[in-house]
Amino acid sequence: MPSNPRLLSLSTAVPDHVLVQDDVKAWAARHFDGRNKDIERLMPAFDNAGIETRYSCLPLEWHKNGHHWRDKNRLYVDNAVELLTRAATECLEKAGLGPQSVDAVVAVSTSGFATPSLDALIMQRLGLRQNVVRLPVFGLGCVGGVLGLAQAVEIARAEPGRRVLLLVVELCGLTFRSDDVSKSNVIATVLFGDGAAAALVAATGDGPEISRPGQHTWPDSLDVMGWNIEDDGFGVLFSQDIPALVLREMPPVLDAYLNANDLTLDDFDGFICHPGGAKVVTALEQVFKTETNGLRHTRGVLRDFGNMSAATVMFVLDRFITEGRPGRYLMSALGPGFTAGFLTVEIP
């Protein structure tokens, strides 16, 4: 029986502009003052989000005035290509391999549009072969890191000689709409950051073993999270019930994943989770029955980078790998659909 694919290397990248949460809070108070009658009631969300810093491809003041979707999407493409190039170059260098060694690319992003897709745009930048297999993935939102990695694993498993480069980038800050005074847009201002990750997966080699992909999409849940396409860009869609949904709906789905793979929660040494937000992390701690501070890397990434949608869980995975504690870990994320994604990661 062929062995499970392994993660040969992983790198992350963030843009240059650092957003300190206190500064964003003060900016938001000025921006929404007199435009959102509930802004004073919403301001404590900045303090309770568990976020200290985030990163942005543009300075905070750029968001003061409205921008056409065309201009924002051009900035998305330019900055996404730049971040992915940085992350992928470092990822290949860590693996001791050159661009010509890549056989397939999976590119995941949901915060902008690119046609030709991002993988095609960076092929020449990276120096990839012209016969590389390409799989662009759009629409998975926050679950994209887990499900994108699952796709890379399946491609590597199908043809053991293939090396698969996973690219994940989200520039959530560019989705801010200055004239949107809804609660969802305010909360997005509290949470969102920009970031990218690149991972190299192959059926042979050294590194964490990745296996047992799983996912579940709940019925009648399309309005839980996602984007509404508006004239000036992406209108963020958040349900305030997500933490309650996690507490109520996640346990039976988790049990089904564990039972299908003949596992229990006791078989895992930790949990590599996309954070979403502080309340979601608290709900996940209850679902996974972790000890106090059991999701410390999840909270740490949220604190240092905010919610970077699909890229976030890759930053959490990077911290587990850097820590170097051997064990079996459950990787999970939630995203539009409403969908849960799972993977098992074994760090040697």
Measured between alpha carbons, how far apart are the two ends of the chain, in Å? Answer: 20
Best CA proximity match to 133, nearest among 111, 109, 107: 107
> Counting Cβ atoms within 10 Å, is residue 70 exposed (0-12), middle (13-18) or buried (19+)?
exposed
Among 344, 331, 319, which Cα is nearest to 144's? 331
Joined together, the tokens standing for residue 204 give 């042979």
Which tokens in the block code for residue 314? 């890759």
pLDDT for 37 equals 64
pLDDT for 233 equals: 79
pLDDT along the chain (348 residues), means of 10: 86 97 89 71 87 94 82 94 98 97 97 94 94 95 97 94 96 85 82 96 93 95 84 80 91 97 95 94 92 86 96 98 94 94 96
Longest dimension (CA), the chain: 65
pLDDT of residue 181: 76
Prediction pTM value: 0.94
Domain ranges in the chain are 6-202, 209-347
Spatial distance between the Cα atoms of 231 and 52, rounded to a whole number of angstroms: 32
Residue 292 CA to residue 273 CA, distance in Å, equals 15
> Cα–Cα distance between 199 and 219 in angstroms, integer?
32
How many angstroms separate the Cα of 76 from the Cα of each of 57, 85, 214, 231?
A: 9, 14, 30, 17
Task: Say what the pLDDT of residue 274 is.
Answer: 96
Query: Does domain 209-347 correspond to CATH entry 3.40.47.10?
Result: yes
**Domain 6-202 in CATH: superfamily?**
Thiolase/Chalcone synthase (3.40.47.10)
Residues 310, 46: Cα–Cα separation, whole Å: 21
Candidate list 91, 142, 172, 273, residue with the active-site label: 142
**What is the pLDDT at residue 54?**
96
Task: Work out whether the CA dihedral 71, 77, 83, 89 comes out positive or negative.
Answer: negative
Is 172 noted as a catalytic residue in this protein?
no
Distance CA 12, CA 87 (A): 5
Query: Do 209-347 and 6-202 have the same topology in CATH?
Result: yes
